[in-house]
Amino acid sequence: MSKQNWIGTCIGGRYRIESLLGQGGMSHVYLAEDMKLKGKKWAVKECLPFEDDMTYFLEEAEMLARLQHPQLPQLVDYFTTDEGKGFLVMDYIQGPTLQDLFEEKGRELPVTKIIHIAFQLCDLFHYLHTFQPRPIIYRDLKPSNVMLNEQAQVRLIDFGVARHFKHGKQSDTMQIGTIGFAAPEQFLGLQTDARSDLFTLGSMLYYLLSGGQYAYITQKPLEQLRQDLPEALTSTVSLLLQEHPQNRCQSAMEVKMRLRSIYPEPTTVPESFNQKNQLITPLPDKLIVIGGLFAGVGSTFTAICLARTLHAMHIPNAVVEQPTIEPDLYMLLFGDTKAPKDYAFVSKLIAEQTVSTTSTWTNGFSTWVPNHPEGFPNNWQPADSFKLLHTIKKPIVLWDVSTHWEHPSVQELCHSADEIIVVLDASPGKCNRPSSRALFNRFDTYQKRGKKVHYVANGYLPGNFRNEWVDSLPAAPLCTLPEISRAEVIRAVWRGECIQDQPEVLEQLSVALAPLLRVILTEDTFRKRGLKLKARKSLFSWFRKHG
């Protein structure tokens, strides 16, 4: 039967077709009234069989049935007819498509609105790409498949060409997509993955920001068409549109982090006033990966130094210990005494998919997320890192990876990070090891992809030796941590204290870390929230100075 024949008929024993909502090459979507639930409207999708094979219809139905996300279509029923037609019954989402809105506004939308849509699409892609037991690749992002409600909330529709990603498979069974938006590999007989969806996101951003032009037709960088756009935005679109997947952004969270550094999300805390009625600028949301070039260089100590300096500036932050590394943070913080009585290790809860109402471990403006002192016994997947990241409601997240730069979850974090901090000490021999040089090459790759990589020296090297050491590095250290007596650090740990909280030490750290803090917080935020300390002299320091 043609599409006209369905209107006015009742199918599936309960759905009366009222009108045609939309159509594409593989399906027609109708508005239907539920004859059992009077007044209830549904969107009924008629799926056209592919070469008389209903396998794809059943796969789409099974996929949609498993999805539980408020911004994705909820499948409520599906059935087939004697004629071999397949029907999906889904939520009826009222509202215009993004394409409708784009045309209505004369193909000009505010950049902030486009970025707000992109934020939501990144969250949706992250949900799909980390879906278990297998990731889901959407494959057909375009303005006509994005709907907006009255609150400008995005809803993705039409999963007709979505598929589960299978590791080791060389190509897709069907190469389907919309010309102008689909990734090259969708038409080259190659397997699609999460990066294919990111290409379509880049294509759609190009289309919306250029007034409706297609990147594959113009063959022009976006900055040539819109010179008013920030360079960070045009470079992100350019990165998404790279022909080879390995040259694109590698995850939806990486895209979101890059865009968030340009435009804050609408949920960002607005400007406020401090106790002296001075205007305080909003804090930037930052994921900062911290690790050592080699073992024992002090990446955990550096993370704590940064956290307590931010605490002294009244800036909320969290220190996360990478679950795959050897535990250290719990001991340094004297966890047996200082951790909350009902504290449970968050990484363990996430790996076990356990829901818990245990309290967080906070110390002023810092939140600690350590590993269990006995280590993490399970496999830690990249998706687990993002689940953990989403549980932390702090603007600055310091993620300590120690030396586990090669772990897949750490590499995924680095692709998504706003800043990467590499801690090293003045040991020329260690910096010239083959393993160190290989890491330098990895960091250089991150920088070429637009990531900010900073080197921090832990300790000084005297005289000309320091110059020779700096010359051997890819870049000079942005800052150098002051020398702090190891004996004093151990004494503080045994007392259950952070030596970084001692006024004299904190003052040294605030001066030493200032170049790095200016980068993390931006110059304006650093200036307005800058640490102003007057170190209190203890009797011990007076006797040490005067004898």
Which residues of 118-244 form beta strands (DSSP E)? Answer: 136-137, 146-148, 154-156, 163-164
Query: Which residues pair with residue 100 across a beta bridge?
Result: none
Calpha distance 343→333 (Å, rounded): 14
Angle at Cα 260 formed by Cα 236 and Cα 211, nearest 5°? Answer: 50
Q: Tens of pLDDT along 320-336? A: 999 999 999 988 888 88
Is residue 141 a contact partner of residue 200, using CB atoms and an 8 Å limit? yes
Q: What local confidence, expressed as pLDDT, does residue 242 receive?
A: 93
The two tokens of residue 211 are 């007034």
Domain positions in the chain are 3-91, 98-260, 286-546
CATH fold for domain 286-546: Rossmann fold (3.40.50)
Class of the CATH-defined domain 98-260: mainly alpha
The total number of residues written for the chain in this structure: 547
For residue 536, the 8-state DSSP code is: P
Q: Tens of pLDDT along 85-118? A: 888 888 887 778 899 999 999 999 999 999 999 9
Half-sphere exposure of 462 (CA within 13 A, CB side): 0
Reference 158, options 133, 173, 141, 178; nearest CA is 141
Q: What local confidence, expressed as pLDDT, does residue 283 receive?
A: 64
DSSP 36-49: SSTT-EEEEEEEPP
Q: What local confidence, expressed as pLDDT, does residue 59 receive?
A: 73
Calpha distance 73→145 (Å, rounded): 11
Count Cβ atoms below 10 Å from residue 408 Cβ, excluding itself.
Answer: 12
Q: What local confidence, expressed as pLDDT, does residue 80 receive?
A: 81
Q: If DSSP states are collapsed to H, E and C, what string results for 74-85? A: CEEEEEECCCCC
3-91 shares its CATH topology with 98-260:
no
**Residues lower than pLDDT 50 in the chain:** 1-4, 160-175, 267-281, 355, 357, 532-547
Q: What local confidence, expressed as pLDDT, does residue 264 receive?
A: 67
DSSP 343-372: ---HHHHHHTT----PPPEEETTEEEEPPP
Class of the CATH-defined domain 3-91: alpha beta
Reference 209, options 186, 179, 183, 230; nearest CA is 230
Calpha distance 412→401 (Å, rounded): 12
Whole-model pTM above 0.75? Answer: no
